[in-house]
Structure 1
């Protein structure tokens, strides 16, 4: 027999009866069982603090992150040009003078000279043929990374054939456009299709091709402008021939 019965089970009726002492203990224990840490306001504040500290884009970048940033394409290209052999760099830049000087001289004089335009197209055809022949010279040595197969040797003949076709055209504008196509195909072969040249040479090829293409298109544009002007204005700009 229990002196202070808390719970009395009534057999046969499946019921539980609470004594007054048990009810008093239940009311006294339940408030104590609530922990202050389960306060909704404190839990919400803790979650906000954890979320705030977990966001990576609120953190400032350290100096190491900015210092380890990779250089851009322009910076790497300039570095490759600096590492190129000086004879190749200087001769390539000097070879661009006949291209750039023709439209520059015409623009300064304000007159279109057909002789200079034809000389530029002829020099462009020779340059395109030379670029195509370089692939043969690069692929023929035994220790060369490029093999003398159909891919290298046959594609090298495309540029000279287009250059020859440019000289057969009567209109200088058509010849210039044909040379631009030939230069684009040759650049695609050397940079993308046949990527065995050193990096400095590829950068040099890109720079040279851009200058040559812009020079040829500038000459063709000056020719178009001269043809649109009245014939009398063009005759006034030409020097008078002595009797």
Structure 2
């Protein structure tokens, strides 16, 4: 850089000497010539120092920094989550209304009581098992009709279209089919299917439901399905034990 500056200054001074020599010979030692010469030298020197080719280092550093940094527009900005949405994600069963929570828990008692009583007494009661299947069919019909009640109001986010209303009739149809089976095993499995479909509708297809209600629906469906399956398990075990006892009595006789 310094050799370049010296070369430019040397060439400029040499040009000035060649251009100003005739003026000095013509004007002699006139003060006016010296003053004009000094002004002309100052103008050229300032023009040389202000040359656009000699930019300061700060300009180059700023350009390099702008080249290596991305524009703020292209940077991804994560939108801040609103307080209402954050509060919805934090909801749990504690935020559920007391009547809804207690009535739902009380509605699970008939499901749990049947297999528990048969397991404690060691006896299978077909009437109690059929009563449990019937209660499960009624519950599935109630959950299907609840979808109609959610879609019919004017301000509801769910429209009363063919999809919502037809999905509300599927659990009652499956529940009715469960009561037509003569075998309790087939009826219980059909009721479990109806409860699972109703849960899928309430959790996946209707997101405007409160979070506490979805959690309550999941846990309630799990308890109901496990209770029905527990009744079938107790039936198989006790029936197998009864067959073995009869066979032993026949062998002894």
TM bin (shorter chain): 0.5 to 0.7
Structure 2 CA distance, aligned partners of 1:78 and 1:108? 40
2:179 corresponds to = 167
1:192 corresponds to = 204
1:215–1:77 distance in 2 versus 1, CA, 3 Å: farther
Whether 1:133 and 2:145 are equivalent positions in the alignment is yes
How far 1:78 sits from its partner (Å)?
Answer: 8.8
1:190 and 1:202 in contact (8 A); partners too: yes
1:149 corresponds to = 161
Taking the TM superposition and a 5 Å limit, the aligned residue runs for 1:26-175 are 79-175=91-187
1:58 corresponds to = none
Structure 2 CA distance, aligned partners of 1:87 and 1:196? 20
User: With structure 1 as the length reference, what TM-score do the two structures score?
Assistant: 0.63
1:77 and 1:203 in contact (8 A); partners too: no
How far 1:169 sits from its partner (Å)?
Answer: 0.4
Q: Which has the larger radius of gyration?
A: 2
Structure 1 CA distance, aligned partners of 2:89 and 2:115? 27
2:231 corresponds to = 219
Residue in structure 2 matching 1:208, options 216, 220, 242? 220
- Larger helix fraction of residues: 2
Structure 1 consecutive aligned stretches of length 4 or more whose deviation exceeds 6 Å: none
User: What stretches of structure 1 of length at least 5 have no aligned partner?
Assistant: 1-75, 235-243
Q: How many residues align?
A: 161
How far 1:195 sits from its partner (Å)?
Answer: 2.1
Structure 1 CA distance, aligned partners of 2:190 and 2:131? 15
User: What stretches of structure 2 of length at least 5 have no aligned partner?
Assistant: 1-87, 247-253
1:112 and 1:226 in contact (8 A); partners too: yes
1:46 corresponds to = none
User: With structure 2 as the length reference, what TM-score do the two structures score?
Assistant: 0.60
1:152 and 1:194 in contact (8 A); partners too: no
Structure 2 CA distance, aligned partners of 1:155 and 1:162? 12
Structure 2 CA distance, aligned partners of 1:77 and 1:214? 27
1:118 and 1:172 in contact (8 A); partners too: yes
Structure 1 CA distance, aligned partners of 2:152 and 2:98? 24
How far 1:194 sits from its partner (Å)?
Answer: 2.6
